[in-house]
Structure 1
Amino acid sequence: MLRRCLLLSLLAAFALPAVAAAQSDGLAQKTLYKTGASSRYLMGGQWWYRADPGGTGTVSEFAANASTASWKAVTVPNAWNAKDYSDASFAGGVGWYRKSFHLPSSAKRLSWVVRFESVNYRARIYLNGRLVGKNTGAYLPFEIRLPASVLKRGGTNLLAVRVDDRRFPTDFPPSGLSATGVPTGGWWNYGGLLREVYLRKIDRIDFNTVAVLPDLPCATCDAHVTYKATVRNYGDKAQRVKVTARLGARRITLGTASVGAKKFATFTKRIAVKNPKTWSPTSPYLYNTSLTASDGKKTLQSYYERTGIRSIKVVDGHLMLNGKPLNFRGFGTHEDSLDKGFAIDDAQREQQIQWAREAGGTLLRSHYPLHPYYYERLDELGMLAWTEVPVYSVKTKYLKQTLVRQLAAKELSTAVQTNINHPSIIVWSAGNELSARPGPVQGYYIQRAVKQAKALDPTRPVGLAVAGYPSAGCQPEYGPLDVLGINEYFGWYSGPNGQIADRSLLSDYLDSVRQCYPKKAIVITETGAEANRDGPVEERGTYQFQQDFVNYHYGVYASKPWLSGALWWTLEEFAVRPNWEGGNPWPFSPIHQKGLITMTGVKKPAFSDIQRIYKGTKQWGGAGQ
């Protein structure tokens, strides 16, 4: 016994320097959101940033040299062009981030992964001067395994990330130049490590994907829950793996299998749940559904997850939650602030959610998957989410390229896999404002995206947000969709040939949409008017005009009982692009000022109008038609 105690003391003594070094690097075993794999270390503390004008810097200059001369100390998340609203800032450039770190443990059996929650837009990741991974895209997480041959288990490692946020017409969202040479794009192009970075420890076995899908036939029925977990063996030898889960206090065995070295295995189990506690806006009950992978004796990896048992379906052209019709009211939102750009923190996310609740809103939508914190809080609060991918305004001539369509559909698949377990998400949206007259190119993309989303998640409807123009008519290419989102700005923009300039045409237009798609759920995904000053109610851009716009448009929506919901675009102001006008004769470029709250946190008068309307609307469980 004495010998064993001495041995344990020696091992602990040797382990302490690694832990202490990791802590001094700013690594902390914590996360900014709850769900996901265990053993995540937030890579906080000091990072270094350096611009690379022209993008011509060499690997040895930026990724292999530990010198910090000419580098700027920053914290991550970081948007390098926050507060810079110049044309050059929006057009994008190249920057490098670097961080020195020590592993929390030097044990040889362990593998290590770096997880990036969002990098905009093209990333190359280097470890100790060696390229170890690449990624293209933003708003979704990706992971890079750190090769054992490059990793310094007992010494200082240098992580370097080259970020290129110059956008192309085939990106999501696309960017380029207009016919007059003005940069185009849907929202401000912030460059950098826009969400946090984690170091993940893997003891041979890791959870690759986890899906927990509820099936609730009716509000008072017994339910079923299907678990589908894919594990990966990072080890050099086959490993016997047992996967178990919990649904609240109930223990579930998913199975046992031998997983070959560097191989994957999927475990699936469907269980019956008698008298389930359902998730709803009035009672958002969440079940702890944590999973563990073990070798039969020792836990190798665990995965924390929660689920809500609820159903979301389209029935006779209406979105139904637990068998009751939805008529939600909510807001569009962007992750943006004057001081941090896109790289906001949880306090700012929470502020947006509380503003939405204060106004009586029950749903949030953005043009891209939001940070996981949003979805976790919406789950807890009984709020809803329309989750969209940034396949926004991609021109048909680019969508025509097979690779672009494939990447767009993959974007939706990744968003589904990443966020599948949040009961708050009621619609997967394949994009926003593609051509209002979809031909076979867009039709093929819609078919592919819907098919892939439903293969991963058969429990939710799939939708698309489209520009609301009467001239578009009925479009058979929308056939595979369950939900159609209408972005309508009648009485604000004029539209092609002035077709939406007259707001009195809105009611008839909505009726025509219903006639085209009687079996689809119809949602107003956008409406709004800019406001930045006092003035006459007839003058566009005044607070008074915005108030009148709110009351008129929501009055029309109230007369359409078949609508499943309506959203104001947006809750809070955000930066769009240089020379933005937004239909306002006195704009404040580049700020989108349809928001009801300014970027300095001041509520506009129309906030009270929205609040009165939203709180006076029965948003779940009404009659519906």
Structure 2
Amino acid sequence: MARLRFLLPIFALLALFPAAAHAEKPNEQALYQDGPEGRYLLDGDWLFRLDPTDQGIKQRWMRSTSKSGWNTVEVPNVWNLGDPSNESMAGGVGWYRKDFELPNADSALEWAFRFESVNYRTRVWLNGKPIGENTGAYIPFEIEAADAVKRRGTNRLVVRVDSKRLDRDFPPARTNADGVPSGGWWNYSGIQREVYLKKLDTVDFQTVTVRPELSCGTCDATVRMDLDLRNVTRDGQRVTVTGKFGDRNVRLGTKTLGPDGIASFTDSIRVADPRLWSPQTPNLYDVSFTVRVDGEKVAGYQLHSGIRSIKVSQGRLFLNGAPLNVRGFGLHEESKADGFAITNERREELVNLTREAGGTVLRTHYPFHPYTHELADRLGLLIWSEIPVYSVSTAVLKEPSVRRLAVAELERMIGAHQNHPSVMVWSIGNELSSQPGPVQVAYINAAAKFAKEMDPTRPVGIAVAAYPSSLCQAQEYKALDVLGFNNYFGWYPGPSGQIFDRTKLSGYLDAVRACYPNQALMVTEFGAEANREGPIEEKGTWAFQQEWINYQMTVMNSKPWLSGVLYWTLNEFWVRPGWEGGNPRPAAPVHQKGLVSYDGVKKPAFFDIQRWFKATPQFGPPPPAA
């Protein structure tokens, strides 16, 4: 059945669809490879209903057996797709329901649910019993079924989603003087990414880290493997863990885990003359782990590792000892057809467009889907990986609890994606106050310290608005390795008109280099809106966008010390009601700086960027042999 797409008037549309759902046994499959064995995709038909007056809990919808009022959808699903109203942007409450049977009724097995992304507050019931909740989006979370699961017969999973975001959320929600809500990008409501039923046989993988360390581009590598396993049974278990890295066998040891106990398993190997991962040669090693109890396999895990080093030295970013001057794109994992509930085919399309245009870097304001990371690993793309700590006001960031939540968000992102060689930078935020005071400095220092302790093999960065009035913040940013500057000289006027004149860009960049001589510097955004034919002098025309891009690229290409330049954005996406984006003839809520239109048409400037990017030597020569 085609995914249900909600358009206005939504209540009238819902009434047209009969409710239908039946219990089924899910198949063992996943939309991405890396991860534990025993994942069962909960796809097919779900039931959905809106809760506009928030009466579902009072009326006990989590225990409902009737299908009245429920309508059939497919998950992933966003219920406000195509609705550009203020109410849609502000968010609401919706309920999802899935009936299923366990694929295996063995009483020795435990089960959990894995949600890849739900926006934003999630409460979950199984067979009428509450089993867990979560706050946040874009990062996976898991909830165990525990004693609520039925071994035989129909299980009913009910998920309440509250997409109303607050000023303390990531990204924060705000409302302007005209009552128009905002929040960085469109607030798509619902279960945005897929859901899995996860089999737990004796143990659960709590963390799996495979960390290659490379001292130089011609050195041998050390690969450290760290696993934390939890015993999910009520009895003590003696557990043995073995693995493979490429064709090398590894033994991580045998330990006894008490009931619900956690134990760490560690091993490291030396890899002589490693096949290095890079965008030119994205070599990957197959990695697997096997857990046995009394000689019998109870669990397995697989991933793909790339041996490479990414470091900052003397103000440049180096990959495997060679300097970088990369080119790439910001993008949103979105489509006109599905909003944020996109398929792997759409992810492949975005990655292929990036490569077609000569890009080697991907960036968005939240963690990518795991399949996007796997594509980047296989195809040789780098990722600026960022948490959605976007435009959080200093007054909110002042609260210690908000700063702790932001660092927790960083921890979850690193935990989810640290095994991917494609990740080149952990970014702790975007466009916080351009003049950081003690509050922001406290957050920067805490986040940078935590990221380097959790993953010492990658640099830590932030993206900031490029304003001359806040040019030099050397002390405030000293804990960071990489600084990204969002450059809109000649497009937006900026505060007091300070970036109105595009000819000031070159001098600004030179001053930035002088201020931050030891940090790697990148332009993390530059872009101009375009949606029509018209004269080159008129903002919003194809011709203006082309000429503006060509000027910008001429200036930025003259700065050999830059480690990279990223265009914002590859694809058009929804922002908020009333969005103008500097375009005198906007098409709200669509952000039209994208080089590919919302309907999938390449703008003329796509080919200008392609010409510039493909002509740029993005990777320095490899280091000389030892």
TM-score between the two structures when normalised by the length of structure 1: 0.95
Q: Which residue of 1 aligns with 2:110?
A: 111
Instruction: Give how far 1:229 is off.
Output: 0.7
Instruction: Give how far 1:202 is off.
Output: 0.6
Q: Which residue of 2 aligns with 1:552?
A: 551
| Secondary structure of 1:478's aligned partner | coil
Instruction: Give how far 1:266 is off.
Output: 1.1
Superposed CA RMSD: 1.3
| Secondary structure of 1:523's aligned partner | strand
Instruction: Give how far 1:58 is off.
Output: 2.3
Q: Which residue of 2 aligns with 1:603?
A: 602
| Secondary structure of 2:503's aligned partner | helix
Deviation by residue 1:125-153 (Cα, 9 ceiling, x = unmatched):
011111110100000000000022x2111
Q: Is the 8 A contact 1:337 1:344 kept in 2?
A: yes
* 2:424 pairs with 1:429: no
Deviation by residue 1:327-349 (Cα, 9 ceiling, x = unmatched):
11000010111121100000011
Q: Which residue of 2 aligns with 1:139?
A: 138
| Secondary structure of 2:254's aligned partner | strand
* 2:52 pairs with 1:53: yes
> Which amino acid in the other structure matches residue 518 of structure 1?
P
Q: Is the 8 A contact 1:99 1:160 kept in 2?
A: yes
Instruction: Give how far 1:429 is off.
Output: 0.3
Q: Which residue of 2 aligns with 1:313?
A: 311
- Picking from 209, 234, 237, the partner of 2:235 is 237
- Picking from 348, 351, 356, the partner of 2:349 is 351
- Distance in 2 separating the partners of 1:537 and 1:290: 56
Q: Is the 8 A contact 1:25 1:46 kept in 2?
A: no
Q: Is the 8 A contact 1:437 1:472 kept in 2?
A: yes
- Picking from 206, 209, 229, the partner of 2:207 is 209
Instruction: Give how far 1:33 is off.
Output: 0.4
Instruction: Give how far 1:448 is off.
Output: 1.1
- Distance in 1 separating the partners of 2:555 and 2:60: 61
Instruction: Give how far 1:435 is off.
Output: 0.3
Mapping of 1:2-151 within 5 angstroms? 25=24, 27-58=26-57, 61-148=60-147, 150-151=148-149
Q: Is the 8 A contact 2:325 2:564 kept in 1?
A: yes
| Secondary structure of 1:407's aligned partner | helix
| Secondary structure of 2:53's aligned partner | helix
> Which amino acid in the other structure matches residue 513 of structure 1?
V
Q: Is the 8 A contact 1:329 1:363 kept in 2?
A: yes
Q: Which residue of 2 aligns with 1:500?
A: 499
Deviation by residue 1:304-323 (Cα, 9 ceiling, x = unmatched):
11100000000111100000
| Secondary structure of 1:27's aligned partner | coil
| Secondary structure of 1:477's aligned partner | coil
> Which amino acid in the other structure matches residue 207 of structure 2?
T
Q: Is the 8 A contact 1:54 1:93 kept in 2?
A: no
> Which amino acid in the other structure matches residue 54 of structure 2?
G
Deviation by residue 1:531-560 (Cα, 9 ceiling, x = unmatched):
000111110000001001111111111111
- Distance in 1 separating the partners of 2:501 and 2:289: 56
| Secondary structure of 1:557's aligned partner | helix
Deviation by residue 1:79-122 (Cα, 9 ceiling, x = unmatched):
01111111110010000000111111111111000000000000
| Secondary structure of 1:522's aligned partner | strand
> Which amino acid in the other structure matches residue 68 of structure 1?
K
Instruction: Give how far 1:59 is off.
Output: 5.8
| Secondary structure of 1:599's aligned partner | coil
Deviation by residue 1:495-529 (Cα, 9 ceiling, x = unmatched):
00000000000011011111111100001100000
> Which amino acid in the other structure matches residue 299 of structure 2?
Q
Instruction: Give how far 1:565 is off.
Output: 0.3
> Which amino acid in the other structure matches residue 437 of structure 1?
Q
* 2:584 pairs with 1:617: no
| Secondary structure of 2:552's aligned partner | helix
Q: Which residue of 1 aligns with 2:578?
A: 579
- Distance in 2 separating the partners of 1:60 and 1:210: 42
- Distance in 2 separating the partners of 1:116 and 1:236: 26
Mapping of 1:61-460 within 5 angstroms? 61-148=60-147, 150-460=148-458
- Distance in 1 separating the partners of 2:610 and 2:37: 41
- Distance in 2 separating the partners of 1:477 and 1:442: 8
Distance change >3 Å, CA 105–CA 80, structure 1 → 2: same
Instruction: Give how far 1:581 is off.
Output: 0.1
- Distance in 2 separating the partners of 1:536 and 1:61: 60
Instruction: Give how far 1:23 is off.
Output: 11
* 2:527 pairs with 1:531: no
Deviation by residue 1:206-263 (Cα, 9 ceiling, x = unmatched):
1111111111111111110010111111110111111112111111011111111111
* 2:589 pairs with 1:590: yes
| Secondary structure of 2:146's aligned partner | coil
- Distance in 2 separating the partners of 1:473 and 1:610: 27
Instruction: Give how far 1:24 is off.
Output: 6.0
> Which amino acid in the other structure matches residue 166 of structure 1?
K
Distance change >3 Å, CA 86–CA 256, structure 1 → 2: same
List gaps (5 residues or longer) in structure 2.
1-20
- Distance in 1 separating the partners of 2:360 and 2:22: 40
- Distance in 1 separating the partners of 2:268 and 2:515: 38
Deviation by residue 1:13-57 (Cα, 9 ceiling, x = unmatched):
xxxxxxxxx996261211100000100000011101100012222
Q: Is the 8 A contact 1:430 1:463 kept in 2?
A: yes
Q: Is the 8 A contact 2:282 2:380 kept in 1?
A: yes
> Which amino acid in the other structure matches residue 539 of structure 1?
E
- Distance in 1 separating the partners of 2:30 and 2:420: 18
- Picking from 466, 469, 472, the partner of 2:470 is 472
Q: Is the 8 A contact 2:25 2:103 kept in 1?
A: no
- Distance in 1 separating the partners of 2:125 and 2:573: 33
Deviates more, 1:495-504 or 1:275-284: 275-284
- Distance in 2 separating the partners of 1:365 and 1:378: 12
> Which amino acid in the other structure matches residue 228 of structure 1?
D
* 2:513 pairs with 1:514: yes
| Secondary structure of 1:56's aligned partner | coil
- Distance in 2 separating the partners of 1:393 and 1:501: 21
Q: Is the 8 A contact 1:529 1:549 kept in 2?
A: yes
- Distance in 2 separating the partners of 1:24 and 1:549: 56
| Secondary structure of 2:87's aligned partner | helix
- Distance in 2 separating the partners of 1:553 and 1:411: 34
Deviates more, 1:227-236 or 1:177-186: 177-186
Deviation by residue 1:421-470 (Cα, 9 ceiling, x = unmatched):
00011000001000000011111111111111111111000000000001
| Secondary structure of 1:106's aligned partner | coil
- Distance in 1 separating the partners of 2:241 and 2:448: 30
Q: Is the 8 A contact 1:83 1:340 kept in 2?
A: no
List gaps (5 residues or longer) in structure 1.
1-21
Distance change >3 Å, CA 538–CA 49, structure 1 → 2: same
Instruction: Give how far 1:60 is off.
Output: 5.1
User: Which of structure 1's runs of 4+ aligned residues deviate more than 3 A?
Assistant: none
Q: Which residue of 1 aligns with 2:10?
A: none
Q: Is the 8 A contact 1:32 1:346 kept in 2?
A: yes
Deviation by residue 1:580-611 (Cα, 9 ceiling, x = unmatched):
00000000000000000001110000001001
Distance change >3 Å, CA 23–CA 228, structure 1 → 2: farther
- Distance in 2 separating the partners of 1:23 and 1:355: 39
Instruction: Give how far 1:178 is off.
Output: 1.5
> Which amino acid in the other structure matches residue 549 of structure 1?
W
Instruction: Give how far 1:70 is off.
Output: 1.2
Q: Is the 8 A contact 1:52 1:95 kept in 2?
A: yes
